[in-house]
């Protein structure tokens, strides 16, 4: 036989030498939840091992993340007060803005990404301004602009809009540039599906809609061409990074977006993916570490440059140990 592919699998050294998918802790982002109040470290029931932190205790997890070699954190805020227009999202003293200022001071080397959405802050749980039971897309854009500027002024290193309003990237870029933040990048949740994989997150962030669902603005998971359209529109509007969310069963679209764009692609391994692994491992049916690593490699192999995951710390440690990388 002339061709023997097994020649390149004979030992660990050669397997590592010819490995096609390379991973680094630099590409990992850890999502965390911050809440108003004091001395709070509250485990999220549907996400074992994940917690809501008050600002005075968030250094505990930031220290762990940094020690593991993870350099980037995405912040989600949970306010005590909610109203029709989500005013806590753009207030100077909003929970994410306060968390950004604290983290900048206590862990200046960490790269801080601010999730930009209104659902955690609105009394109705939807991602924009309502008229009756319908979201006004264009009116919402002005609120997203205010949120982006507030987050930038608080010290965010990147803005990540997740609302799925049409035209939001262009509107946010315009507002950032007009306020002196032309160097601040935007990572857009470009391909964000209306997914059942988000259920534990809604528990974590207290962001379930009070009525209806989000299918009028989040995407139909049957659609491939629409995913590419959304990604390309965000590129045209000035997104610096585009995201596919969820990750686990959307590898085909990570690859499609990667092949059709010329900017970095992020994949978000969401709360439902995390909860499924944790629950199945706790039942003794799978090896948690091996499954966690294999799913991560799958996202990178599909084309992800950035992997947003609640397993960021554990994956970084696995990379250090040479289990993946």
Distance CA 285, CA 171 (A): 47
pLDDT tens digits, 238-259: 999 999 999 999 999 999 999 9
Q: 91 and 46 in contact (C-beta within 8 Å)?
A: no
User: Taking the mean position of all CA atoms in its chain, how far away is CA 274?
Assistant: 13
Q: Is the pLDDT of residue 234 over 80?
A: yes
Q: What is the pLDDT of residue 205?
A: 65
Q: Residue 292: which region, alpha, beta or left (left: phi > 0; alpha: psi -120 to 50)?
A: alpha
Q: Where are the alpha helices (DSSP H) in the chain?
A: 12-17, 58-68, 95-106, 137-154, 168-178, 199-205, 225-237, 251-260, 271-282, 288-302, 312-320
Q: Classify strands 111-116 and 51-54 as parallel, antiparallel or unpaired.
A: unpaired
Res 212: pLDDT:
67
Give the model confidence (pLDDT) of 107-138 as tens digits.
Answer: 999 999 999 999 999 988 888 898 888 899 99
**15-58 pLDDT per residue, tens:** 988 888 989 999 999 999 999 999 999 999 999 999 999 999 99
| Mean pLDDT, range 188-210, rounded to an integer | 84
Q: Which residues are catalytic?
A: 192, 245
């Amino acid at each position: 036989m002339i061709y023997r592919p097994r020649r390149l699998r004979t030992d660990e050294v050669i397997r590592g030498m010819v490995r096609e998918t390379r991973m680094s802790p630099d590409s990992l982002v850890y999502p965390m939840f911050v809440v108003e109040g004091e001395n709070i470290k509250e485990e999220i029931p549907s996400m074992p091992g994940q917690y809501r932190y008050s600002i005075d205790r968030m250094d505990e997890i930031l220290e762990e993340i940094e020690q593991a070699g993870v350099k980037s954190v995405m912040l989600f805020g949970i306010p005590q007060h909610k109203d029709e227009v989500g005013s806590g999202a753009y207030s100077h003293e909003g929970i994410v803005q306060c968390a950004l200022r604290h983290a900048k001071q206590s862990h200046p080397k960490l790269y801080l990404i601010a999730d930009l959405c209104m659902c955690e802050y609105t009394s109705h749980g939807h991602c924009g301004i309502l008229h009756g039971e319908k979201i006004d897309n264009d009116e919402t854009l002005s609120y997203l602009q205010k949120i982006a500027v507030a987050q930038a002024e608080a010290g965010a290193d990147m803005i990540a809009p997740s609302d799925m309003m049409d035209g939001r990237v262009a509107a946010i870029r315009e507002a950032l540039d007009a306020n002196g933040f032309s160097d601040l990048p935007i990572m857009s949740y470009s391909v964000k599906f209306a997914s059942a994989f988000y259920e534990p997150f809604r528990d974590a962030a207290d962001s379930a809609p009070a009525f209806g669902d989000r299918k009028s603005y989040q995407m139909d998971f049957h659609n491939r061409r629409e995913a590419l359209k959304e990604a390309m529109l965000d590129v045209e509007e000035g997104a610096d990074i585009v995201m596919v969310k969820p990750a686990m069963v959307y590898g085909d679209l990570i690859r499609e977006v990667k092949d059709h764009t010329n900017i970095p692609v992020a994949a978000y391994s969401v709360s439902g993916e995390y909860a499924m692994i944790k629950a199945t491992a706790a039942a003794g049916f799978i090896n948690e570490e091996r499954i966690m690593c294999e799913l991560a490699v799958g996202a990178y192999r599909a084309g992800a440059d950035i992997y947003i995951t609640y397993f960021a710390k554990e994956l970084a440690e696995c990379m250090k140990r040479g289990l993946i990388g």
